[in-house]
Amino acid sequence: MNKTTISLKRLIPGLIIGPASWLGPYIVMNSLFLPALIQHFNAPHKIELVALFSTCGMIVAALSNMIAGALSDKTKSRFGKRAPWLLGGAFVFMLAMIAASFSPNIPVLLTAWMIGQAALNFIVSPMVAWIDFAPKDGRATASSAYGGLGMALGNNGFNVIGAMFLSQYRLGFIIFGIITFIGVTIAAIIVHEPSNLDEELTEKAPKPKLTLKDAASIFPRWSIGRDYYMALIAKLFQGVGNFAITGYILYIMTDFLHRGSQTQSSIQLINLILLIFGIFMGFVAGPVSDKFKILKLPVGFSTLFLAFGALMLFFFRDTFGIVTYAFAAGIGMGMWNSLDNLLNLEVIPDQNRVAFFLGVYNLGNTITQAIAPVLAAAVISLFGYSGIFIVSFIFSLIGGVLILGIKSVKR
């Protein structure tokens, strides 16, 4: 089968605008508008309700992500195999967020939010597979555009705008839902995925024989998918190590570092540094990886920066520690986000199911954000806030060791 290739001139802008358009609005709505509306409906039980929404969202995301990836891999249309699903997902997500804005009670809000979660993953899973369209010598650059630039803008760039709508959170749902649809549509137009209707005509290569054990499962056994599973487990450890700190950053500032009136400015400083280094690594990491043909080493060693940053906050409980943590985490996360999707693409056990396996891999973002706060809460209750940084240090290093243990990617 002749592999579809799209030039970096079209692919890179799409891989920046696309993820920023779904991730940014989602983070703003999830962290600001949803909690505000839940508090409006039921303030006494808001903590439990936020946990309920998070748990249900994780389950829906896991299922819809795999389904979206599998459907996308099998799709043939004049608009390609990815664009129809991510555009449909963006449209349904917009409608779901508009419905959420008009919700009269918790059950209706939960229903709208779950529909939105499912639709969101019909954007995410096909879109990350766009990286596979990059030319062979530009795949790291494409991965860097998606994870380094697009996700950095989404993670840190939308919160400033979102805060302006905090007092008008119902309107915020509508506006940011529309932003997602418009942004994803623009990205799809720029990438302009070609038709794959003739794909069947070129698929004449004999398919490998599968055992009954392989056919009975959507996941290959360990001997076939070892490196993929290593990368997936590494992402979980690295993600928990990172989110154990970022998920409790407010309480770390108030209860551990005792920043008092400087709490808000300290958090803003950290976010600014993370944004700057995320964008910087987005510009640098991919091209450097393409030029020197290195991939596993920068992804693996990026976790050292996260581990170092955790120790800095543990030992230096002042502005120096905060700034040093932000610099180290910014470099580490920027490097990881820029290249980890490409590394995963290189170790996928079945190249005919790219979107499916990339979708499962990207579930690491959702699952770790659900696991990390629970683990961190348990550690805090046993050892106090200082225990979070030791957990982050250990988990980050384990993630790096697992990445370096991948065999099929040499360096």
The pLDDT tens digits of the residues spanning 186-197 come to: 999 999 998 888
- Domains, the chain, in order of start with CATH, read 1-200 (1.20.1250.20), 220-411 (1.20.1250.20)
Better-predicted residue by pLDDT, 49 or 170: 170
The pLDDT tens digits of the residues spanning 95-115 come to: 999 999 999 999 999 999 999
Among 110, 105, 99, CA closest to 53: 110
Q: Rounded mean pLDDT of 273-286? A: 83
The pLDDT tens digits of the residues spanning 117-135 come to: 999 989 988 888 888 888 8
Global pTM reads 0.75
Q: Rounded mean pLDDT of 395-408? A: 93
